[in-house]
Amino acid sequence: NAGVMQNPRHLVRRRGQEARLRCSPMKGHSHVYWYRQLPEEGLKFMVYLQKENIIDESGMPKERFSAEFPKEGPSILRIQQVVRGDSAAYFCASSSTATRNTIYFGEGSWLTVV
């Protein structure tokens, strides 16, 4: 299965800890997106990255959240000093230039902050 791979699927963190979510895009895809889905809400765009570059981070909270997509390895969404309001499903998606704006999602990472 060469789909978008996310891990961990489920993550529990105490308030104040750090959460790291990983995403490996589909084979041949060089564009990565992170979306967040809060309970009872739709999917909210967070950030769009290409290798070693953040293209659009207009949806990222100004503090505690960061994302990277290094030359080697998966994309990482990092949340520092987590709070209860960070509890959500975080979805990674990827696309290639050939697929234009059709992005393909991973299974998601469910973060629970206790």
Partner 1 sequence: DQQVKQNSPSLSVQEGRISILNCDYTNSMFDYFLWYKKYPAEGPTFLISISSIKDKNEDGRFTVFLNKSAKHLSLHIVPSQPGDSAVYFCAASGGSTGGGADGLTFGKGTHLIIQP
Q: For binding to partner 1 (CB under 8 A), which residues are involved?
A: 4, 6, 30-31, 33, 35, 41-45, 48, 50, 55-56, 59, 91, 93, 95-97, 99-108, 110
The Cα–Cα gap between 87 and 113 comes to 6
Q: Which tokens hold the place of 65?
A: 């959240």
Instruction: Pick between residue 62 and residue 102 the one whose CB is nearest to partner 1.
Output: 102
The minimum distance between CB 7 and partner 1, in angstroms, equals 13
Q: Shortest distance, CB of residue 13 to partner 1, whole angstroms?
A: 19
CB atoms within 10 A of CB 52: 10
In 26-51, which positions are buried (b, 16+ CB within 10 angstroms) versus exposed (e)? beebebbbbbbeeeeeeeeebbbbee
Q: In the complex, what is the shortest distance from the CB of residue 1 to partner 1, in angstroms, rounded to a whole number? A: 13
Shorter beta-carbon distance to partner 1: residue 35 or 69: 35
CB-nearer residue toward partner 1: 15 or 44:
44
Q: Minimum distance from CB of 109 to partner 1 (Å)?
A: 10
Q: How far apart are CA 2 and CA 107, in angstroms?
A: 13
